[in-house]
Amino acid sequence: MLDSTSSAPAGKGLSLLTLGAIGVVFGDIGTSPLYAFQAAFGEALFQNTQGVKSSTEMAHVMGTLSLFLWAIIIVICLKYVIFMMRADNDGEGGVLAMFSLLMARRQSEGSEKWFSKIAGRGGLVFLAIVGAALLYGDGVITPAISVLAAAEGINHASSGQIPKWVPTFSAVGILILLFMLQRFGTGRIGILFGPIMLIWFLVIAALGVGGIIGNPEVLTAINPMWAIDLFTAKPWLAFILLGAVVLCVTGCEALSLDMGHFGRPAIRIAWFSLVAPALLLNYFGQAAVIIESHQPPANPFYALVPDVLMIPMIVLSIMAAVIASQAIIAGAYSITRQAIRLMLLPPTNVRHTSKSHEGQIYVPSINRAMLIISVLLVLGFKTSDNLSAAYGLAVTGVMVTSTIMLAMVARRAWGWSWFVICPLLLGFFVIDLAFLGANLLKVPSGGWIPLAIAFVMVILMTTWLRGCRLMDVTKSESDTPLDDFISEVSEAEVVRVPGCGVFLTSTAHTTPQSLLKLYRHIPALPEEVIVVNFQLIGRPRVPKTDRVRVSELSEGFWFLECPIGYLQEPYLPRLLREASQHGLRVKPDKVTYYTRRDIPSRVWGDHMVNWRKSLFFLMLRNARSATDQLSLPSDQVVEVGVRLNF
């Protein structure tokens, strides 16, 4: 994990990071040649198939190739690599990272709780929620289409002699195995990702060169007039083609999402030195094959492969597809953890699969859901060409939201003038909207699937955020300042029993509800009372030296402020040990942790409609407990029930 606060690596360290970035960051976009051109030329682009190459067909191929080329240059090279990767939050990128950066800029990192901050910024938080929700829609389709497209090479190797269901069920078996292995983490096999993808990019580049040698005139597609002429001659056809062209930029969000793992320099070096040239050469080669064959082959990618190399290429393609799937699955885990820390999803079980790399995690619930949906997609659509109809809509939605967020970051975080922002980002926004509009045409034929997934995630996120906000209001109505409580304890001469009790409060310098409940029902307190307040801040990580601030109060009370980044997991026993360096005299294995257990009320109010309240309570009951979230020893925990009334 690259620490953003450290100096940029150089030499061997940068080389290793670059190799790692090749294996992880570019897995999704690197396997796009398997299906992108197939989707573009799988329709009735060639109306004349009598073996005569007409000028209209040539214009179609060259215009489409030019669209692919300039989409990669404008969307990936300019928007993401140059601009989006600047919009980082302590080295972390992506929609949620930009959202947290904006919130950190707009409000100070004080005692105000995170979801209280974002509740008043409805437009901004909803934009972040939509962007994150669309990433889930992208995440379940990518493994399905990548593995299925790679498995379809079996048909080419057998010259169509095997049943059509063999690639489909082969893809299902690979997906099941892939998701079953997630629990073991990617640490042990991650070292293989870089070399395999390095071989993959070199091979597809070589295949592309072979196709170009047979028809070098395709190199003229670098002239954007081919694309412009296609829009002029056949505007509706060109617009429809954008729905397939966007497939060549799928995985673009990974460039900014994985900045925290590999750093900006390594990703940029990998892209410009290897990945972009390899992809472009392969697309040019596929176009050359199509022009030479006078009609679109079943799969332009495998048409580039010599027969003697078909079997090894199928194996390499499947390996590359698995790596691409692994990358997007890990991205879904990362988005889930960020959403949980930003109070957009309920806490769930997040397992760390590596002792040395914080970013390597496994989320069982997300893994199960992605497995089920991916397998159903493969069985339902059967071919990658059919499945491409469901792909792209989520990607373009994320592109639109990221452009809007980028404009806000440029204005509020970078201080750019609107006179600079508008001309610069307006072009990106128009292109994003064009891709989105073209993909909306796919809704009846499968594009509704990522929209449905995103809609469900939006409902879950907004319901959880709204419920947490109402819980915050309910708690604040009964908040008792900690100083007032200590004065009350002092005046009442409360019985103090030997031991140390740790209580959690969600608001700084406020008496925890669990402490009030315990005091009201059992008028006795431990000799030492430690009140801990975790403050979620807008940074990904908090340095170790700043994780605990200790204040000694009167009557044996201590107050601990523990800032925590949205990519960090709180570990309370370890924080108590660190607090001992600041004067707190306590042994973590001797304390008792008092946590609150929120109990839903059966009284229905007017703050939420009944079905959303039922959904929130269902999510609350199944949320990960404070004991698990804070890594508390279960035999030292006492839960105090607090009934929710809203």
At 262, which amino acid appears?
Answer: F
Q: How confident is the model at residue 160 (pLDDT cuts 50, 70, 90)?
A: low
C-beta atoms surrounding 632 within 10 Å: 20
User: Residue holding tokens 């493969």?
Assistant: 378
Strands, DSSP E only, in 91-180? none
| Cα angle, residue 341 at apex, residues 632 and 409 outer, rounded to 5° | 155
Statement: residue 606 has pLDDT above 80: no
Which residues make Cβ contacts (< 8 Å) with residue 568, sequence separation at least 6?
341, 358, 540, 541, 542
The share of the chain scoring above pLDDT 70, in percent, equals 85
Statement: residue 185 has pLDDT above 70: no
Average pLDDT over residues 14-22: 81
Statement: residue 139 has pLDDT above 90: no
Which pLDDT belongs to residue 48?
Answer: 36
Statement: residue 157 has pLDDT above 70: no
Q: Could you report the per-residue pLDDT of 393-415, keeping only the tens digit for each? A: 888 888 898 898 888 888 888 88
Q: Could you report the per-residue pLDDT of 427-468, keeping only the tens digit for each? A: 899 999 999 999 888 888 888 888 899 999 999 999 998 888
Residue 351 DSSP class: E
Range of 40-49, 468-477, 601-610 with top mean pLDDT = 468-477
The least confident of 88-102, 180-194, 564-578 is 180-194
Which pLDDT belongs to residue 41?
Answer: 77
C-alpha 616 chain-centroid distance: 23
Which pLDDT belongs to residue 613?
Answer: 85
Which pLDDT belongs to residue 272?
Answer: 94
The share of the chain scoring above pLDDT 90, in percent, equals 18
Size of the chain, expressed as the number of residues it contains: 646
Q: How confident is the model at residue 477 (pLDDT cuts 50, 70, 90)?
A: low
Which pLDDT belongs to residue 291?
Answer: 86
Helix (H, G, I), strand (E, B) or coil at 461: helix
On whether the CB atoms of residues 592 and 499 are closer than 8 A, the answer is yes
Looking at the DSSP bridge assignments, the partners of residue 557 are 529
At 255, which amino acid appears?
Answer: L
Sort strands 524-536 and 549-552 into parallel, antiparallel or unpaired: unpaired
Which residues make Cβ contacts (< 8 Å) with residue 629, sequence separation at least 6?
347, 569, 570
Q: Could you report the per-residue pLDDT of 348-372, keeping only the tens digit for each? A: 887 776 655 555 678 888 999 999 9
Q: Could you report the per-residue pLDDT of 196-250, keeping only the tens digit for each? A: 899 999 999 999 999 999 889 999 999 999 999 989 988 888 898 898 899 899 8
Which pLDDT belongs to residue 474?
Answer: 67
Instruction: Please state, in angstroms and rounded to a whole number, the distance separating the CA atoms of residues 8 and 17.
Output: 11
Statement: residue 169 has pLDDT above 90: no
On whether the CB atoms of residues 349 and 316 are closer than 8 A, the answer is no
Which residues make Cβ contacts (< 8 Å) with residue 581, sequence separation at least 6?
none
At 318, which amino acid appears?
Answer: I
| Cα angle, residue 381 at apex, residues 376 and 386 outer, rounded to 5° | 145
C-beta atoms surrounding 210 within 10 Å: 16
Residue 629 DSSP class: H
Which pLDDT belongs to residue 355?
Answer: 59
At 279, which amino acid appears?
Answer: L
DSSP 347-365: ----EE--SS-TT-EE-HH
On whether the CB atoms of residues 22 and 277 are closer than 8 A, the answer is no
Over its C-alpha atoms, the chain yields an Rg (Å, rounded) of 28
Looking at the DSSP bridge assignments, the partners of residue 562 are 534
Sort strands 592-599 and 495-505 into parallel, antiparallel or unpaired: parallel
Longest dimension (CA), the chain: 100
C-alpha 173 chain-centroid distance: 25
Statement: residue 108 has pLDDT above 70: no
Q: Could you report the per-residue pLDDT of 291-319, keeping only the tens digit for each? A: 887 766 678 888 898 888 888 998 898 88
The least confident of 472-476, 507-511, 523-527, 638-642 is 472-476
Residues of each domain in the chain carrying CATH 1.20.1740.10: 13-466
Statement: residue 4 has pLDDT above 70: no
Instruction: Please state, in angstroms and rounded to a whole number, the distance separating the CA atoms of residues 76 and 40.
Output: 19
Which pLDDT belongs to residue 475?
Answer: 64
C-beta atoms surrounding 52 within 10 Å: 8
The least confident of 254-258, 341-345, 495-499 is 254-258
The CATH topology of domain 13-466 is Amino acid/polyamine transporter I (1.20.1740)
Which pLDDT belongs to residue 274?
Answer: 94
Residue 310 DSSP class: H
Statement: residue 287 has pLDDT above 70: yes
Which pLDDT belongs to residue 66?
Answer: 95
